[in-house]
Amino acid sequence: MNNIVGVAVLDTGLYKHIDFDKRIIAFKDCVNHRTHPYDDSGHGTHVCGIIGGSGYASSGRFRGIAPMANLIPVKVLDSKGNGNISDVIKGTMWILDNMYNYNIKIVNISFGTTDNISNTKDLIYHVETLVQNGIVVVCAAGNNGPSPNTITAPGTSKMVITVGSMDDATFSSGRGPTDEGILKPELVVTGSNIIACSNKNNGYTSKSGTSTSAPIVSGAIARVLMNNPLTPEQIRMRLKSCCNKINIPPNQQGWGYLDILKFVTMD
């Protein structure tokens, strides 16, 4: 087993951008059942670039947070970014079956659903099973704010790290609490005009939304787990201790804005 931390990304797939070099160590397609990495949307490639792009094609300018991490893209969304809960569940089950093969320590979910609780119950169950098996799950808060109770599932789960955006002028970061009264999101980072890998010609593109905020946190967690074998709960407490309150609504920021440098470098 490779000791480098593996980050599984449930999304639209992954284009084999030069910035990922040889770190795409596995690929699972729950939509079209193809065997080789591809991304017919671009969303998954962008998310993976934020997490672990090396910046090679931009001479280091557009580098991801954890360019040493291995990437395991799991395609559960189609070319339009749409998907079925059943495919997402299949993706989580595949990750659970292969977590030791690829040293998967983190799962990034940069999408969500507003389906009712009964329809998302199974999804939440399978996502929480990942956490119970020692995997940190990071989810986007969604872009359905500014009203309360607008966090999308599976970010509504009390066991995952749900990430909102502090700068949502062109969209509206999901707000808590959840229907069960759970504080959400846990924290916020930036989420506007994030430049990362595109799925065309080893290029780059800019995107905004909480789907770009979540992989920033996933990348930071990957950096920490490279040298610290922490549990999901220990990561949770470390994140909380590195957040600072800022001047945005309490139900938008949770613990506050993440000081990434402190989170990555603290003893």
Instruction: For 201-214, give one letter per residue: b (16+ CB within 10 A) or e.
Output: ebebbebbbbbbbb
Is residue 253 helix, strand or coil?
helix
Q: Please name every residue paired with 109 in a beta bridge, in sequence order, or none if there are none.
A: 10, 139
The alpha carbon of 190 is separated from its chain's Cα centroid by a whole number of angstroms, namely: 14
Assign 5 to helix, strand or coil: coil
Cβ atoms 50, 196 nearer than 8 A: yes
Active site (catalytic) residues? 11, 43, 211
Residue 234's closest CA among 98, 105, 110? 105
